[in-house]
Each structure stands twice: as structure tokens, then as C-alpha cells.
Amino acid sequence: MNTHKQLIVFFILLVVNALLAAAAYTLLPASQLNPTSAPLLEQAARVPSWLLGLANGGIVLVLYGALGLGGYWLSRRAGLPGIYRPGAGWRAWVLWPMGLGLICGAVLVVLDRLFARLGNWSGFTHPEFPLSIIASATAGIGEEILFRLFFMGLWAFLLNLLLRRWKATPIAWRIANLLAALAFAAGHLPSAMVLFNVTSPAALPPIVLVEGLLLNTLIGLVAGECCVRDGMVAASGVHFWTDIVWHVIWPAL
């Protein structure tokens, strides 16, 4: 019965993410679809935005649905909660992640200003409102399905097989969390490469590379720890509220 409830929650989040992804694509300016590829940009301009949004939502349903189901299977067999920890309650699922996310968002702002001053640059850019809210929600769901539920679940499963002889499952979880956080940080480098119009992370200014990796690894570790304790729902809450401070509140100040 618990598995059925977890899967119902997962599919609700998946559908919400697909709908938001479709809406985000219709709001995204054509110039941002692929800034480095003029031919693709010209082709995209000929396609109705609603059709692009529908296709994007469908891709999200299929891709994240498959990864999420696989990650749920792997994480449960590694001893992790999966989608959520039964019986934890709204404080663990909603309130605690919201508080952590707000704190993490404030930390990001402070560190970004520090790195910007050290590197003599303006800092990372943010999506325009209301796209910033939609982007925060889609990242909070989609990226947590990918990096926490699937990637961390996969490594936790493999490492648990390797270490269970020594009853080191908690160690396997923490190593998996670190690997997922590093992958999460690396996954944000392409946006920095677009911002600086370079084709390799090595071509980024060192201060930008360090900031991007450090800040995203930090958020990944916090979200991952919540995932270990209370499941993907808690990790999504941390991610969402971090992005609300970082992408929505801070640019409006």
C-alpha cells in the first residue's frame, strides 16, 4: 500500500513538472532556445510556441518518468525512503525543507556577492519574472528526480552492494549523496558556458568555475541529506525554496 501511495505522489509531481515545463517553454524568448545555434534558432522560430511547449512537456513525462521509476526502485533497495518517508509528517516533508531552502538561498546570495567582488564580475544571471517561479518549480522537481532519486539512488544501491558485508549502508548513502551533488554541480556548468559564450568548462573564468561548482555542490549536499532522511519530496522542497530566494526574491530587491 505504501508503494502505491508513493507512486501516486510521484506521478502527481511528474505531471505538474511536465505542465510547468510546457508553460516555461512558451514563455521562453526565442533567442534563449539555443543561443549558440542560429540554424536551430531559425527553425524553432517557425514552430508555434504551444507546440514546442507540448513537445517539451511530453519529453519531461517520458524521460523523467522512466528515470524516476528506476530511481525509486534502486533507492528503496538501498534502504532510502524513495519519494517520501512514511509517517514523517508535514513538518519533515514541507516545513523543514522550506526553512532549509530559505537559509540556503540566502547563503547563495551572500556567497555570490562575495565571489562577484573577488572576481570583479556581476554574478550569475536569473530568469525574468514570472519565468523565474516556473523555473524554480521545474528545477525543484525535475532535477531532484534526476540527481537525487535516480543518480543518488543508483550509487547508493551499488555502494550498498559493495559495503553491506561490513554493514556500512549509511556510509554508502553519504558517498552517493556526495557523488550526486558533484554531478548536480557539473550539470549547471553548461548554463555558465552559454553565459560566457565558451565551449568548454575549462574556458570559464576560474572564479566563475569555482563559484558554480561550490555553490551547487553545497545545495546538492543539503538536498541530498534531506532525501536520505525524508525522501525526494523533502529534497524538492529544499531546492524549490532555495531557487525562490535565489532567482525570484533576490533579483526583485
Q: Give the residue with greater pLDDT, 48 vs 6.
A: 6
Q: Is the pLDDT of residue 126 over 90?
A: no
Q: Is the pLDDT of residue 121 over 60?
A: yes
pLDDT score recorded for residue 187: 92
Distance CA 93, CA 143 (A): 18
Closest by alpha carbon to 235, among 161, 142, 116, 173?
A: 142
pLDDT score recorded for residue 202: 87
Eight-class DSSP state of 100: H
DSSP 110-148: HHHHHHHHHHTS-----PPTTHHHHHHHHIIIIIIIIII
Q: Is the pLDDT of residue 241 over 80?
A: yes
Q: Is the pLDDT of residue 41 over 50?
A: no
pLDDT score recorded for residue 33: 44
pLDDT score recorded for residue 98: 97
pLDDT score recorded for residue 48: 67
Closest by alpha carbon to 182, among 159, 157, 155?
A: 155
Q: Would you tell me the crossing angle of helices 189-196 and 206-230 to the nearest 10 degrees?
A: 150
Residues 232 and 142: beta-carbon distance below 8 Å: no
Rounded (10°) CA dihedral 127, 238, 115, 192 = -40
Domain ranges for the chain = 2-252
**pLDDT single digits (tens) 198-221:** 888 888 888 989 999 999 999 999
DSSP 154-205: HHHHHHHHHHGGGT-HHHHHHHHHHHHHHHHHHTTHHHHHHHHT-SSGGGS-
Confidence bin at 79 (pLDDT 50/70/90):
very high
